[in-house]
Structure 1
Amino acid sequence: MLEPQSRAALTELLKPPTGFELAHAVGTTFTLDLASALAVPLSFASHRLSAQNDTLGVLDAIRRAADRIDVFAQAGELSMGTRSDLVAFLEPMIHPVALRRGLFHPKVWFLEYQAGERTTYRFLCASRNLTADRSWDVIVRLDGQPASEHDAPPAREANQPLVELLRRLPHLAVNPLSAARQARIDALAERCETVTWERPEPMKAVSFHVFGVPGSSEPDLHGKRALIVSPFVSDEGLRMLRSRVRTDTHLVSRAESLERLQPASLDTKLSTYVLDEAATYSGDDEDVDGTRAIVPPGERLAGLHAKAVVVDRFDGAHVFLGSANATDAGWQSNVEVMVEFVGPVGKVGVEATLDALGDLKEAYHPSGGREPDAKEEAERKLESFVRGLASARFSVRVFPGCPHALRVWADETGASTLARQADTYSVRWHLLTRPDLGSSTFGSAESDAVLLPEIPLADITPFVVLVARDTLGNERKTIVLARLLDDVDTRRDAIIARQLTDRAAFIRLLTLLLELSGGWQPSSTGAGGAGFFGAGGLEDATGVFEALVRAVGDGHRGLSDARRIIDYLRHHDETAVLPDGFDELWDQVWSAHLELTGGRE
């Protein structure tokens, strides 16, 4: 346990077992980077990308999985790394969360996979957010199966905290989920009630603790000695975690967190450590294509983000892993998840874990008592203001035209938040797709909403970037997901069309759509375009003709999806990316499809 040599990438842990495919995934995170979130659907893709910059492959993976993935994140903590048009396809699966008290801080995944009539489950509990952060983290993976009739009652009792969290998630979202999504999550929660989880060696017991939801209870932390690993620590949180530890406590944290502890907390029974900056890990032997790695080549893991508590007791070592920092908020007011294992003290206890950390840690002797400076305090207040503002509901209405226009406004909660803090904070905003289009005001109703004219169809988006600034010049950005009213049916088709820069790109897209329909399996030479259609036309049409014919009447959506994109290209005079002779071939194929399906698409 907690051995730095035992590394795993989140995308690999999400990947279905051999022979299975994703049925449903529900994830939670505190901070969410939309660019990082694009990698999640790739974990469930049945095919591997030919290159890490395979935009159309990423697009196809997202489209296939979008209706089976839900991700909940703290409102005010959404960001965007590398800009990508493809985040438009994440819109249905992203759900910002706002709490009346505390923060939404769990990092878990509920995963259900299917292979025919067989179903299997996986639960991940991590300290890692869904971002590109390169810190040291911990993650728990538990694989499970539907319980037998005999094992169902104890499974239901053990899983109750997780099931309660899963059922509660839709009700925490800023924007209401669709009835279909909420029903799917409720159904998944019901099935998860009676899952039995495999225990990793050498653990003899596993249980779950969910903080900040009705019915949650504080774990039993009494024992002889303890080890606490936490990047953030407070005096009250440390006191609570140590209150029932009879002898020594070891604390691994960040230097700045240790220095903020009061000297009274740094007694002789507490040993403190930080990570040795020289003992970072370089990921030169790993690849990064969104499917296999967390650490890009040449980059290094640095900084502590893991959260763990190990307590030695007479019945074994109790190991708590998950999202809660060693703070009073982490264990008393936030929504958090910790998994508790019980295992042999000699293998997973305090001393064994310290030995496993080895040279990664080094002793640190803080003086304590350092107070946050004025800038840090101002930044903390700014963060709180932004989260409060992002907890409001924003709306974007589309007005048809060529190009279109948008009206953008906030609800009364957002407007009043801005009004109350107008002397302290200024806010400007813009569309995620168009940093040049925005305003410094929000209407509190549609009647006084800001109007943005001349928006190309592919630039319409419900993602709005808020930029808040305080009187000291500190600035903080976040992204809110607005309600998109009167959306245009072909908006995502326009985004796809924008990715089709040449004929090879169109062929690549058609290849992926036919894979989806089961109509064609790519050869080693066919995916790139030349050799599938030939260099520019239909000189070598046998492969594509057979692929399209196989897809006719097959009952899947691949051919219908292809038709929608082709119709969009034709309607908007963007047919230059279609190979020569393709129009005639396509019309014949689609006519045959309609005939075989009785006119049903």
Structure 2
Amino acid sequence: MPEREDVLNPTSRLLLSDALRPPRGYELDLGVGTTYSLNLDALLLIPFILSSGPADGDAEAHPTRMLASLRRFADRLTVFAQAGNIQAPRTYRPFHTFLEDAVVQVTATHEGRIFHPKIWALRFTAPGRQARHRLVCSSRNITTETMWDTILSCDEAASGSDVVIDAAPLVDFLRTLLTLPGADALTPGHRNQVNSLIGSLSAIGGFEVPEPFEGGRLVPLGLPGADLEAQWPIPHGERSWGVISPFLDPGTLQRLPRSGSPHILISRPDTLDRLAGTIDGLRRRPDLKVMSSWTQAADDDETSAVESREGLHAKVLAWWEHYRSHILLGSANCTSAAFGGNIEFGVELWAGLRQKHGWIPGVLGEASGLADVLEDYRPDASDVDEEEAEQQALHRQVELALAQVALACPRLRVSAVAGAAEPAFQLALEAAAAALSALDRPGWTSTVRPLSIPQEGAVQISGDVEPGWTLTEYARVTPWLVLEVDAEAGDATSHLARVVKADLVLDPGLPADREELVMRSVLSDPGRILAYLGMLIGGDETVLPEAGGALTTTHIGEGPAEATAAPIAEMLEPLLHLAHSDRAQLTRVGRDIDVLLAQSPQAPELQELRTLWDAFAPLTESAGHEGEDRHG
């Protein structure tokens, strides 16, 4: 019986929220994420998670905590996403304002290929301690979808560790991000942040090798100048292998070793059906597996050790070579695109092979933890939709057109409506015909609207139409544009709704800091104002009161302290801590106090807090512009 390898055990779950949380006593200093698909509501949760909020929380249930977490952490994050593949949220949230500078839309440099990596490179800091770094490499996009994915979290190795994963490929990867098409839209502050992270990662010894492995390497794919032919990881010859990939193609299947055993191929039923002829033509037919149907249905069994998911999304290649077992986890499907020009990222791990023929069955086969959630599958070519290829080709055309619009970065001008009885603001797309021309095609019906405008306000894209909209609330001004495309070509149809970020141009005299307007709209009563400021100052040690209630503080692991009649005094110690650990944040606290004091000038608690903060004001002068300490 092969020895079981609990490398991919579905009962041992690591949630992305757990992988991103700082070590105890630390907080996020900088983070760079990459994703193919991006959901803005899912990205809103990342700062919420970093502030120790519940992973399943949302802005509606915890608006004050959400606001504080965004003010603390949103400007420390930079997220690179495939251009034209930001999903359209169901509704607009003013909180989306805080994500505008964090998101940059990019694409691969190889023609017809995409930006597809899924990593987080993180730096955590704590007063008086050395910074710590972490790499999270996964198959999971920043979306709200719940699918079967893999996540690998590697912390910075301790000084003097004998075996580490070299961080140099990650450093090169981050440098490349700054040169990709679309990266010129990065703000100077966020570009400085990425460079700062590159600098600190260059100085570390490497990342820990997770058990039970004995070594590893980082594997970025598709970077400019890469030898694409040399990227394929599995050597030829007689060897066992196993693959998990929701997408496959004939060319890559032919590259897999044809001799040796066992060979295990895990994919989606529709993918295997489509490749039935290619699979039957292989010299040695692999064992074919799919996720059991019960793992993808509604989970009504509360006693089940394995949660159900919407579908297979994990990407894994496993093989043996020179008496060592290898596994490659990350974003790359087993396709020609993934290893032939897509930008991807993976981690290859290896260990001494204890049983030559036991590695693949122990990781992916009958002896593995996955055996409980897999079932054998026999492809049926008769189930293949003959029109599917045309559908996919049209869908790909629409995706490429949306990417073209995103990279063109349309200009959205905002101006005040002169002579209006009530405040009103005009939003107009400048040179719309040129910026949106990729979506103006025969057989296509395409519309555009700002995310804050309801669906009925969408304007059809046409060469002779200059789209424009009027808003009565300045807080709803947004650069996020919803592009919706209904395309037809023969019998094929495609419908896609995506968000692109426009270049927002404000006329002189209009407020530049729209985040402050969102802050004012959320903080509608004194209790919430103090709770918000308490969270900015005290971080995770602050307990939110009910609306209009008093502020209380607590320490992690303890219950809330009794409410105090003078909560401002309790902020002295957190302010001292903040002055020592993050003067840029201290500067922001002072600025927000002033903004909120202007809104509620008669609030005695705010006046008292402003007086207390004045004692720390000289320290903020050394911070220079906001974020200088963080940007390096």
Deviations 1:169-227 (A, max 9, x none): 12225252122321221221232234411111110110121111035441441261110
What is the SS of the residue equivalent to 1:172? coil
Aligned to 2:555: none
2:98 equivalent to 1:89: yes
2:468 equivalent to 1:451: yes
Alpha carbons of 1:125 and 1:532: their partners in 2 closer, same or farther (altered >3 Å)? Answer: closer
Matches within 5 A, 1:177-326: 177-193=186-202, 194-216=204-226, 217-222=230-235, 224-240=239-255, 242-243=256-257, 246-261=260-275, 263-266=277-280, 267=282, 268-280=284-296, 300-326=308-334
C-alpha displacement at 1:237, in angstroms? 1.6
C-alpha displacement at 1:97, in angstroms? 1.2
Q: Of residues 32, 35, 52 in structure 2, which corresponds to 1:29?
A: 35
C-alpha displacement at 1:73, in angstroms? 0.8
Measured in 2, the distance between the counterparts of 1:5 and 1:466 equals 40
Check whether the contact 1:317–1:342 (CA below 8 A) recurs between aligned residues: yes
Alpha carbons of 1:146 and 1:329: their partners in 2 closer, same or farther (altered >3 Å)? Answer: same
Alpha carbons of 1:552 and 1:531: their partners in 2 closer, same or farther (altered >3 Å)? Answer: closer
Deviations 1:473-514 (A, max 9, x none): 6321000011112262342222223324x53xx423421313
Alpha carbons of 1:248 and 1:590: their partners in 2 closer, same or farther (altered >3 Å)? Answer: closer
Stretches of structure 1 that go unaligned for 5 or more consecutive residues are 287-294, 534-539, 576-581
Alpha carbons of 1:146 and 1:163: their partners in 2 closer, same or farther (altered >3 Å)? Answer: farther
Measured in 2, the distance between the counterparts of 1:8 and 1:50 equals 15
What one-letter code is carried by the residue in structure 2 that aligns with 1:110?
Answer: A
What is the SS of the residue equivalent to 1:474? strand
Aligned to 2:556: none
What is the SS of the residue equivalent to 2:484? strand
What is the SS of the residue equivalent to 1:328? coil
Aligned to 1:98: 107
What is the SS of the residue equivalent to 1:227? strand
- Structure number with greater CO (CA < 8 Å, separation at least 6) is 2
2:589 equivalent to 1:558: yes
C-alpha displacement at 1:545, in angstroms? 4.6
- After superposing on structure 2, the runs of 4+ consecutive aligned residues of structure 1 that deviate more than 6 Å are 47-51, 281-286, 548-555, 598-601
What is the SS of the residue equivalent to 1:542? coil
Measured in 2, the distance between the counterparts of 1:213 and 1:90 equals 27
Deviates more, 1:78-87 or 1:7-16: 78-87
Check whether the contact 2:391–2:493 (CA below 8 A) recurs between aligned residues: no
What one-letter code is carried by the residue in structure 2 that aligns with 1:314?
Answer: H
Deviates more, 1:297-306 or 1:431-440: 297-306
Matches within 5 A, 1:311-350: 311-346=319-354, 349-350=359-360
Check whether the contact 1:396–1:482 (CA below 8 A) recurs between aligned residues: yes
What is the SS of the residue equivalent to 1:492? helix
Measured in 2, the distance between the counterparts of 1:220 and 1:586 equals 61
Check whether the contact 1:134–1:302 (CA below 8 A) recurs between aligned residues: yes
What is the SS of the residue equivalent to 2:569? helix
Identity of aligned residues (%): 25
Aligned to 2:398: 382
Aligned to 2:148: 136
Q: Of residues 436, 460, 481 in structure 2, which corresponds to 1:440?
A: 460
Measured in 1, the distance between the counterparts of 2:198 and 2:31 equals 11
Measured in 2, the distance between the counterparts of 1:96 and 1:365 equals 40
Q: What TM-score does the superposition give when structure 2 sets the normalisation length?
A: 0.80
Check whether the contact 1:95–1:173 (CA below 8 A) recurs between aligned residues: no
Check whether the contact 1:430–1:437 (CA below 8 A) recurs between aligned residues: yes
Measured in 2, the distance between the counterparts of 1:127 and 1:438 equals 34
Matches within 5 A, 1:374-413: 374-400=390-416, 402-409=423-430
Measured in 2, the distance between the counterparts of 1:12 and 1:438 equals 39
Alpha carbons of 1:468 and 1:14: their partners in 2 closer, same or farther (altered >3 Å)? Answer: same
Measured in 1, the distance between the counterparts of 2:122 and 2:519 equals 29
Aligned to 2:534: 514
Measured in 2, the distance between the counterparts of 1:95 and 1:285 equals 41
- How much is the aligned-residue C-alpha RMSD, in angstroms? 3.5
Check whether the contact 1:386–1:468 (CA below 8 A) recurs between aligned residues: no
Check whether the contact 1:126–1:139 (CA below 8 A) recurs between aligned residues: yes
Q: What TM-score does the superposition give when structure 1 sets the normalisation length?
A: 0.83
Measured in 1, the distance between the counterparts of 2:466 and 2:432 equals 10
Stretches of structure 2 that go unaligned for 5 or more consecutive residues are 1-6, 418-422, 553-562, 622-632
C-alpha displacement at 1:42, in angstroms? 1.8
Deviations 1:327-355 (A, max 9, x none): 10011121111211112445882010112
Aligned to 1:537: none
What one-letter code is carried by the residue in structure 1 that aligns with 2:224?
Answer: P
Q: Of residues 478, 487, 499 in structure 1, which corresponds to 2:498?
A: 478
Alpha carbons of 1:199 and 1:284: their partners in 2 closer, same or farther (altered >3 Å)? Answer: farther
2:138 equivalent to 1:119: no
